[in-house]
Amino acid sequence: MGLFFDVLSAINNPNQQGSVNQLESIMNSIQQLATNRGIQPSQMQSAMSVLGNILRPTLQKQQSALGGSQLQNLINQAANAGINTFGQESLLSPQLQQQIVQAVSQKTGLSPNLIQAALPSLTSAMLGFLNMGATKPGIQGSNPILNTFLDSDRDGDTDLGDVLKFANRFINPSAVS
């Protein structure tokens, strides 16, 4: 739940990009994907958890190679590029994509073809969550959401599935998930 608290903090911090509208947009895209593909909420949460757990080390390596601000720029560009124009090749090698597809399929029971088709949308949503902590243009500072996600001590506080679950409760308080 720690990572979701960072999302809420970003929404409440006028120096960060996060907003309720941005969170709603991410959640709507995930809901639309789930509805269109027949994915249950629990499967979507599991898919996001697996995606985050596999991509965390990749993003940590890129942070080491590029530096924090360059990684933030890459995430910002990818998050704002949109689902259809997202250049996964810069983030996801074909081998990593296959690893994600297999791991998500094993965890959720969804077909590999379905996961492969949904991967750009899932990755875009994940990067959208991480980008909510970025500072607004002209303001110096780091992204606490990205920092929390990357500095995970594996205590369960940075699970993207949990972020999805709590974000859904925040956006739709009357819905049970």
What are the tens digits of pLDDT across the range 31-76? 999 999 999 999 999 999 999 999 898 888 888 888 878 888 888 8
Integer Cα distance of 75 and 124 in angstroms: 9
Report how many domains make up the chain: 1
Domain annotation covers residue 33: yes
Domain annotation covers residue 173: no
- For residue 53, how far is the Cα from the chain centroid? 11
Q: What is the mean pLDDT of residues 163-170?
A: 87
Q: Which of 177, 173, 172, 170 is nearest to 9 (CA)?
A: 170
Domain annotation covers residue 175: no
Range of the domain at 96: 2-168
Domain annotation covers residue 176: no
Integer Cα distance of 148 and 115 in angstroms: 26
Domain annotation covers residue 83: yes
Q: Using one digit for the tens of pLDDT, what is the confidence trace for 122-166?
A: 998 999 999 999 998 888 888 999 988 887 555 555 688 888 888
Cβ proximity of 150 and 60 under 8 Å = yes
Domain annotation covers residue 143: yes
Q: What amino acid occupies position 112?
A: P
Integer Cα distance of 70 and 63 in angstroms: 8
Strand partners, 135: 16
Report, in angstroms and rounded to the nearest whole number, the Rg of the chain calculated over CA atoms.
15
Torsion of CA 146, 149, 152, 154, to 10 degrees: 180
Q: Using one digit for the tens of pLDDT, what is the confidence trace for 72-129?
A: 888 887 776 654 434 444 567 888 899 999 999 999 999 999 999 999 889 989 999 9
Integer Cα distance of 125 and 120 in angstroms: 9
Domain annotation covers residue 174: no
The answer for residues whose C-beta is within 8 angstroms of residue 110's C-beta and 6 or more apart is: 39, 43, 47, 104
Domain annotation covers residue 177: no
Helix (H, G, I), strand (E, B) or coil at 152: coil
Cβ proximity of 50 and 122 under 8 Å = no
